[in-house]
Amino acid sequence: MKTITEQRYSKLGPVVVQALKSRSFDAWYFDEQEDALEKIISLIPKDHQVSWGGSGTLNEIGIKERLANEGYALLDRDKAATPEERGEIQRLALLCGTFLTSTNAVSEDGQLVNIDGYGNRVAAMIYGPKQVIVIAGMNKVVKTYEDAYSRARNIAAPMNVQRFPNCKTPCQQTGTCADCKSADTICSFFVTHRFCKPAGRIKVILIGKNLGF
């Protein structure tokens, strides 16, 4: 039995998919993350190197473990032995075959909004990898572009920074954005994807669950 929230997601999801398609994104909606996972795997050619940006959603759905088990060539920055090696893997990821990420927010009219600290995630979304697969729970979907910007800044970023206990930003301490200029800020780059070019390079998978933050 679907919850009331899941019933809403199952109705809204296909509407947002059509909005994304109108902006030349490829897009799909799935009620269950297991079905979404199968679709993601089907979209990734076996000869692609695969990498990803930091994402709670990717961790929750188990896509990285699935790719490793199926023998894909992975560029995994978390396997780096040094900060220098980690940085090099992040640069190599900009030319991988498939880049996986989530998004901080999706507006109902089909725009993606993201905030990034160093820019590697949004850079790969914009240009470089042959394809980008964006996986997002329906909790990331909001009404308008302005709502998407607000969600990215006032919900996603203050939650994301909690992963870094040594990060010296006001939001790490208070849980709310202070529009800081801290050296540790994770809000360096604000990027909107309002249209996908070339068509279909970015593929968006919406899942009717609350995933990530």
Write the pLDDT tens digit of every residue in 169-203: 999 999 999 999 999 999 999 999 999 999 999 99
Number of neighbours of residue 202 by Cβ within 10 angstroms:
27
Q: Is residue 198 reached through a cis peptide bond, with omega within 30 degrees of 0 on the bond before it?
A: yes
| pLDDT of the residue at 1 | 85
Write down the H helix ranges in the chain: 4-21, 33-43, 56-61, 63-69, 83-92, 120-126, 145-151, 157-160, 170-174
pTM, 2 dp: 0.95
Question: How many C-beta atoms surround the C-beta of residue 194 within 10 A?
Answer: 12
Strand order in the sheet with 105-107: 141-142, 105-107, 112-116, 189-193
pLDDT grade for 78, boundaries at 50, 70 and 90:
confident
Superfamily of domain 4-207: NagB/RpiA/CoA transferase-like (3.40.50.10420)
What residue ranges do the domains of the chain occupy? 4-207
Radius of gyration of the chain (CA): 17
